[in-house]
Structure 1
Amino acid sequence: MTTGLPFDDIRDLFTRLPPLDGEAVAGMRDRDAELTKPLGSLGRLETLAEWLGAVQGTPRPTLNRPLVAVFAANHGVVAQGVSSFPQSVTQGMVSNFAAGGAAVNQICATYGLGLKVFELALDYPTNDITEDAAMDEAACAATMAFGMEAIAGGTDLLCLGEMGIGNTTIAAAIYHALYGGSAADWVGRGTGVDDAGLARKISAVERAVALHKGSSSDPLELLRRLGGRDIAAMAGAILAARMQRVPVILDGYVVCAAAAVLHAAALGILDHCIAGHRSAEGQHGEVLRRLGKEPLLDLGMRLGEGSGAALAAGIVKAALACHTGMATFADAGVSNKD
């Protein structure tokens, strides 16, 4: 029974997740057995190719239109002194993306990835979560719906990224509410705050989670109380990708907060996602353990903006190229018998 509230349609999607395609995987394994290499010799590259087929629902998956989607938002909690940079930096970095000057621009150019940046009402930060809920239900649901449109133009691989001063505080609050422990367990230095800034950040997370105590029993309610527009939009994008059979590469600490909310809401909801890398921020490694995701890369990065996911996309593209482009033993005139 529905209540007519804005989250109802989203909860309905949780019950209609398309399964991964086992027949597609079987077809890919048949081809893999004929490729000019020893069985299993490409290790995880082989399972990455199979994952693409399982999600897309075909033994012939494609990577013709890979997209890095970066969601930018501002957060009222910045008023608590949790960042070493002002909120104006968010808009400055969005302009930098548009001018091609960010790290993710260079990675996308290197690996042939599309890049879209989605601005989420940067002039209107969400409420300070130490004093009020970040959003009401209607605003949170609408932001998730906006995120769902990230794949509307058509893509066969979605890499998620974010930009927003203060958003590592938001992510830490979500993790603390979901997973318990102390606030200090989940808080990192983000943009490089000093010890005093770190203490303010820990205090802000403690106060926010205490204020909204009890919301963790309903992941969507937790999202609208403690999340930001960037995290809500990314949750929508992840969910839409699942419904439309689009594989997803998760970036780092903040992106995985959106994934963690969904993971708490529905069993198997992240089966179409892989972790691009293990961030050096906070306890991202512990988050990945709880999500059941083994990262492709561990380079000590904590930049955000989709940089780790974009790097991982290069590996995924190589995995598929090996599967589709290698000759079979018959093609090469090579015996595969001892």
Structure 2
Amino acid sequence: MNVLSRVAGAAVWVVDVGVGVEINPAGVGSTTGAAGSGAVFRVRKVRPGTADMTRGPAMSREEAERALDVGWSVAMEMIDSGIRLLALGEMGIGNTTAAAAVAAALTGWPEGDLVGLGTGIDPVRRQKKLQAVRRALVVNRPDSSDAVDVLSKVGGLEMAGLAGAALAGAARRVPVLMDGFIASAAVLAAVHIDPRALPYMFASHRSVEPGHGRILRWLGREPLFDLDLRLGEGTGAVLAMPMMEAAARILDEMATFEEAGVSDAED
């Protein structure tokens, strides 16, 4: 992610919303926010990891709301620093499982259509993963009309944070690039919270996770490319940045036929 961000001239903002251990910010890197200048690290830990969602809620509603606020406030800080394009990525353990549960709860789709192989598990482990998603939904009974309830019961701190960041981008009219399955599940939750955010959301790529393509179709977003990525961390979103910039510059800088004095009349 750091290498690709340097290629794209993008700043990396790393936010600890709920890492299970304490991290020393001094060992992470740069604390400046200019594009291409290195990493920015913010400690905004809501709690050290989520609970086992197969036995009860992943977190409390108040914790989910705090994580949403973390994403909102950090995204606002980024925009205030001059950033005009947000790319959403994440790092987490087992979060394709939680993303499948969130998508199933918000859309009503069958869990089997959403659960994939994650980082490359075998079919037997996929069945265990599917059982975990189904058990979590039965145990917690998330309210499909309340995205915050869904995030708190079967989501993750990183998803709630990304949802808050997506809402902040839309509020400030800044385009938001989704990465893979987890980031798109977070945007799905954000759009359920406020449908007015949808026009500001863009799909960078379609990952190998089956649930990702379904979410993109629900959002009405066509990905810019499909490279069978399963990397996460925002890598796909950063790869899409030059394409977004190229499209914007063509609209802004390229002359139309009329402006260039070119006739489109037939001979």
Q: Same fold (TM over 0.5)?
A: yes
- Tell me which residue corresponds to 1:139: 63
- The farther-off stretch of 203-212 and 264-273 is 264-273
For 2:124, give the aligned amino acid.
Answer: A
**Is 2:44 the counterpart of 1:120?**
no
Q: Structure 1, residues 303-330: CA drift from partner, whole Å, max 9, x if none? A: 1111111111110111122233335669
TM (normalized to structure 2)? 0.82
Query: 1:283 Cα shift?
Result: 2.4
2:185 aligns with 257
2:41 counterpart residue number: none
Instruction: Find the counterpart in structure 1 of residue 143 from structure 2.
Output: 215
The letter for the 2-side match of 1:148 is W
* Deviation of 1:173 (Å): 0.5
For residues 107 and 136 of structure 2, the distance between their equivalents in structure 1, rounded to whole angstroms, comes to 15
Q: Which moved more, 1:299-308 or 1:262-271?
A: 262-271
Q: 1:264-294: CA deviations, max 9, x gaps? A: 2333321111111111112211111111111
Residue in 2 that maps onto 1:129: 53
**How many Å separate the matches in 2 of 1:163 and 1:121?**
11
Written as runs of structure 1 = structure 2, the 5 A alignment for 1:73-92 is none
Equivalent residues, number: 233
**Residue identity in the other structure for 2:245:** K
Task: Report the Cα distance in structure 2 between the residues aligned to 1:323 and 1:269, rounded to whole angstroms.
Answer: 23
CA contact (8 A) 2:171 2:197 kept: no
- The answer for the alignment partner of 1:231 in structure 2 is 159
The question of 1:203 aligning with 2:100 is answered: no
Cα displacement (A) at 1:262? 2.2
How far off its partner does 1:190 sit? 0.5
Give CA deviations for 1:147-196 in whole Å, capped at 9, x if unaligned: 11222133111010011111100000111112224322110110111222
Query: Taking CA–CA contacts closer than 8 Å with sequence separation of 6 or more, which of the two structures ends up with the larger relative contact order?
Result: 1
Segments of structure 1 that go 5 or more residues without pairing to the other structure are: 1-103
SS in 1 for 2:196: coil
Aligned counterpart, 2:6: 109
Gap change, CA 1:329 and 1:177, over 3 Å in 2: closer
Letter in 2 for 1:230: E
Check 1:327–1:169 CA distance in 2 against 1; reply closer, same or farther (3 A cut).
Answer: same
Q: How does 1:25-36 map to 2 (within 5 A)?
A: none
Task: Tell whether 2:118 aligns with 1:190.
Answer: yes
- SS of 1:235's equivalent? helix
- The Cα of 1:226 is off from its aligned counterpart by 1.0
Partner of 1:17: none
Say whether 1:289 aligns with 2:217. yes
TM-score (structure 1 length as normaliser): 0.65
- Counterparts of 1:328 and 1:132, CA distance in 2: 58
In the alignment, which residue of structure 2 is the partner of 1:316? 244
**Structure 2 runs not aligned, ≥5 long:** 21-47
Amino acid at match of 1:322: I
Does the C-alpha gap of structure 1 residues 178 and 121 become closer, same or farther in structure 2, counting only changes over 3 Å?
closer
Contact 2:164/2:190 (<8 A) preserved? no
Q: Percent identity?
A: 39
The alignment yields a C-alpha RMSD, in angstroms, of: 1.8
